Amino acid sequence: MTATDPRSPLLPTPPGTAYTDPAVFAREQARVFEAVWVCAARAGDLPRPGAFRTVPVGRESVLLTRDRADRVRAFLNVCRHRGARLCTEEAGEVRRAFRCPYHAWTYGLDGRLVAAPNLGELPAAERDRRGLAAVHVREWLGYVWVCLADDPPSFDETVRGAVADALGSADAVAAYGVDRLEPGRREVYDVRANWKLIVENFMECYHCATIHPELTGVLPEFAEGRAAQADGGRGAAFGADVDGFTVDGGSGFGRLGGVGEDRDRRYYAVTLPPQVFLNLVPDHVIVHRLLPLAPDRTRVECDWLYDPEVLASGADVARSAELFDRVNRQDFAACERCQPAMASRVYRDGGVLVPLEHHIAGFHRWLADRMADAPAGG
């Protein structure tokens, strides 16, 4: 970042190369995404033993599944024989084991090597040693989180701590019962922009009056540019004539069971760096997961989560989900307009943050600390 006049209300952003340079992106993959807890999938995407998903995490492909004891397991998606990709599909189901399509080495749902052609006499200890490489895994908020680091950071201090910083308490999110909610809609967006542009966009609302007419219609204070997550624990209030968090401001559904009157008619936004956005409203929760694929390409998976009884009743969630789908498309289009300019000589030294965006500097500091201190991986 370049220095600015200390009397100026503008703060510098990272330089353009931070959003375009493949070397920077590779270091982020190694030092950030392979070193911290990453939200990989919805636990419900693994409904039974043998169900699996493959997810890109940093430079690796991670294989998620459930074993026979119904425990979630995570492994590097690499056969230990010659390095072939074990599962080539994004999702699927096996009956008892994963079989490498190259030489038929076969692994149990617990990752142990159970069969290999012409190696019937392989000692048990060698079979154990040649099992799939395990990845640290845990479940929280109904999602599967993984960490590729040998010695992962404290989940409570980093992930739950980020919630506490944003909402005033790590337990505040428990009122929404996210782990028992079910997806009423899922959208996957292929965004032609660097992942950091998407994070920065989500954190501020300086742009809201310009590109989000539906959102500012429901949350009028956003038209003033003040972001809900700029101040810990503060939610944005619905407009006086707004009945629900829907595309037209019409009524939604009843409050989620644990949401009290103090959080009724309010929207809370939480960024869990590096790649999760939580959006909390009284009757549903929206979760974004960012999966960086290239310096200028990011996959965003977005779930709209509702009370199972609402979905079982056959209720139409379209008006509810449509609001944030429009917000997503408006935001991602804006990020894609910015991405080409990151390579411009004009942005060689970066841009600036106005006072309404100053809290984004906290994300930049968080990232810089990890880029400087985390192990490079290998």
pLDDT in tens, 106-142: 999 999 999 988 877 777 777 778 999 999 999 999 9
210 and 119 in a common domain: no
Task: Give the whole-angstrom CA distance, residue 201 versus residue 207.
Answer: 8
| Locus of tokens 């944030």 | 324
Domain boundary among the residues 140, 167, 194 is at: 140
188 and 92 co-located in one domain: no
Token pair in block for residue 237: 């209030």
In a domain, 337, yes or no: yes
- Model confidence, pTM: 0.94
Which of 118, 140, 162 is the C-terminal boundary of a domain? 140
Tell me, yes or no, whether 56 lies in a domain: yes
The enclosing domain of 257 has a CATH number of 3.90.380.10
Q: In terms of domains, do 132 and 194 share one?
A: no
28 within domain boundaries: no
Domain count along the chain: 2
Same domain? 207 vs 331: yes
Q: What is the pLDDT of residues 312-354, one digit of tens each?
A: 999 999 999 999 999 999 999 999 999 999 999 999 999 999 9
CA dihedral 10, 14, 15, 18 (to 10 degrees): -160
Domain end call among 109, 140, 171 = 140
- Say if 103 falls within a structural domain: yes
Q: Residue 8 carries which DSSP code?
A: -
What band does 165 get if pLDDT is binned at 50, 70 and 90? confident
pLDDT tens for 198-240 read 999 999 999 999 999 999 999 999 999 988 777 766 789 999 9
Q: Same domain for 260 and 360?
A: yes
pLDDT tier for residue 83 given thresholds of 50, 70 and 90: very high
Instruction: Report the pLDDT averaged over residues 180-189.
Output: 97
Q: How far is CA 212 from CA 191, 255, 301, 326, in A?
A: 18, 25, 20, 8
Residue 209 lies in a domain: yes
For residues 290 and 343, membership in a common domain is answered with: yes
pLDDT greater than 70 at residue 6: no
52-74 b/e (C-beta count within 10 Å ≥ 16 → b): bbbbbbbebbbbbbbeeeeebbb
Asked if residue 85 is part of any domain, the answer here is yes
CATH of the domain at 116: 2.102.10.10
Together in a domain, 231 and 102 = no
Parent domain of 263: 182-373
pLDDT grade, residue 169 (50/70/90)? confident
Residues 215, 306, single domain; the answer is: yes
The b-or-e profile of 265-291 (16+ CB within 10 A means b, else e) is bbbbbbbbbbbbbbbbbbbbbbbbbbb
* Residue 1 is assigned to a structural domain of this protein: no
